[in-house]
Amino acid sequence: MASGLILGIESSCDETAAAVVRSGSAVLSNVVASQIATHALYGGVVPELASREHLTNIVPVVRTAVAEAGITLDDLDAVAVTEGPGLAGALLVGITYAKALAYGLGKPLIAVNHLEGHIHAVLMEAKETLSLTPGAPVLALVVSGGHTHLYLAEERGGLWSYRNVGRTIDDAAGEAYDKSAKLLGLGYPGGPLMDFLADHGDPNAVEFKLGGIKPKLHRDGASRGGEFDFSFSGIKTAVLRYTELHHMRERAAARHNALMQVEGNRREAALALCDRETLDLIASFQKAVVGYLVKQTMRAAEEFGAGSIVVSGGVAANRALRERMSAEAAARHLQIAFPSLALATDNAAMIAAAAWPKFAAGLFASDELNATPQLRL
């Protein structure tokens, strides 16, 4: 008798994660081994190091997730794993392990798109609060270090389908945060620190312009630069110019070195190391990025007659984004939901949750399942 227990495994980027979720929404365990300390030394994710750390962490992480759920491997109904998008070598570790585990246990294997996982991170928690109406799709903004996508999501007969209506044509929003933070000597990943520091500066000090995308033809022949697409490479360049023009580069390098020595509260230390000009720049950057994300999302919600909005991915942890997006949604009588902080960044509970409808429909992965680094949703 199936008890609805799915083990999720996620290894697409720099977190090795495993979780046990019952019936798509009850999180029995959610274990994440972060590699931030390793990659911070290099100012970004180093793919080969990520693969190696996944290999070291995967068995202990799964063991812990199963133990914390208070079950044994035999109790599982299925194993779900991230198929893509992500780093090839990193994905392969999770997939190879999940395949072997499912095979050994004689349980089905379910392949999950990482982006669908992020969307389900919100849906699994918001089941009671969101009242979904047929014909009024959910507009999902997935906004992380690797992605800035807008999807229309609809449930039919228990299964979800997605239509991509907008995406970044260059950098992701989280990438803009990380790259700008790096320019200011704030280390990696920069988003959480920038979010904290933004409260201490004047958001109207510097005017950044975002938007104004020129459609361009890509290698795959598809044209990008649609009405609901995003572009974030301009603001990164604008931050670079600003720091050069205002002779902030040396101060940033000194700040970087000083922050590397800090063991305790990095936030307070970073605040003490930032001058007024830097804080104003950060506040202005955040205002521009958040305003842009909110504007594009609201325009798409109106265009496609969305009934609700869900925001997920690492940048969904941003407090200013949550506030602005919630206020604008309320003004339009749109329902809105965000994931809890634990489910906003990469985790495996969202993979197990996204796998649940597939399990119910018998949509299992074949023995030939492979990593798909550029997997689309």
The verdict on 228 binding ligand KG4 (CB under 6 A) reads no
- Per CB under 6 A, does 53 bind ligand KG4? no
Residue 143 and residue 321: Cα distance in Å, rounded? 11
The verdict on whether residue 212 carries a ligand-binding annotation is no
List the one residue from 151, 162, 177, 285 that touches ligand KG4 (CB under 6 A): 177
Strand 109-113 to 15-22 pairing:
unpaired
Q: Does 195 show up as a binding residue in the annotation?
A: yes
234 burial via Cβ count (<10 Å: 0-12, 13-18, 19+): middle
| Residue 190 interacting with ligand KG4 (CB under 6 A) | yes
Nearer to ligand KG4, 107 or 114 (CB): 114
The torsion angle over the Cα atoms of residues 80, 86, 87 and 93, rounded to 10 degrees, is: 0
If contact means CB under 5 to 8 A according to the sort of partner, which of Zn ion, ligand KG4, none does residue 97 touch? none
Site membership for ligand KG4, residue 168 (CB under 6 A):
no
> Which of Zn ion, ligand KG4, none does residue 192 bind (CB under 5 to 8 Å by kind)?
ligand KG4
Dihedral sign (CA 228, 232, 234, 239): positive
Judged by CB under 6 A, the stretch of 3-11, 173-181, 200-208, 266-274 that binds ligand KG4 is 173-181
Figure out which of the listed residues 117, 314, 339, 357 binds ligand KG4, where binding follows CB under 6 A. 314
Distance of CA 318 to the CA centre of its chain: 12
Encoded tokens for 42: 């290099």
Under the binding rule (CB under 6 A), the answer on residue 125 touching ligand KG4 is no
By C-beta, is 8 or 307 nearer to ligand KG4?
8
Show the site string, 128-147: x = touches ligand KG4 by CB under 6 A, - = not. Answer: ----------------xxx-
State which residue, 291 or 314, has the beta carbon closest to Zn ion.
Answer: 314
> Strands 26-34 and 15-22, how do they pair?
antiparallel
Is residue 117 part of the contact set for ligand KG4 (CB under 6 A)? no
Helix (H) or strand (E) holding 268: helix 266-273
**Closer Cβ to ligand KG4, 292 or 359, answer by number:** 292
Give CA separation, 376 vs 85, 93, 147, 290, 362, in Å.
7, 20, 11, 25, 21
CB neighbour burial string for 244-273, b if at least 16 within 10 angstroms, e if fewer: eeeebeebbeebbeebeeeeeeeeebbeeb
Please report whether residue 178 would count as binding Zn ion according to CB under 5 A: no
Using alpha carbons, select from 116, 150, 143, 154 the residue that is nearest to residue 24: 116
Question: Is residue 192 at the binding interface for ligand KG4, with CB under 6 A as the rule?
Answer: yes
Measured from the CB atom, the residue of 174 and 203 that comes closer to ligand KG4 is: 174
Nearby residues of 270 by Cβ (< 8 Å), 6 or more positions away: 186, 193, 196, 197, 255, 259
**Is residue 284 a contact point for ligand KG4 (CB under 6 A)?**
no
Rounded CA-CA distance 57/52 in Å is: 9
Task: Give yes or no for residue 191 binding ligand KG4 (CB under 6 A).
Answer: yes
**Four-point Cα dihedral 128, 133, 139, 140, nearest 10:** 30
Residue 187 binds which entry of Zn ion, ligand KG4, none, CB below 5-8 Å type-dependent:
none
Annotated binding site: 114, 118, 142-146, 178, 191, 195, 318, 346
Annotated binding site for substrate: 142-146, 178, 191, 195, 318
| Site for Zn ion, rule CB under 5 A | 144, 346
| Site for ligand KG4, rule CB under 6 A | 13, 144-146, 174, 177-178, 189-192, 195, 313-315, 317-318, 345-346
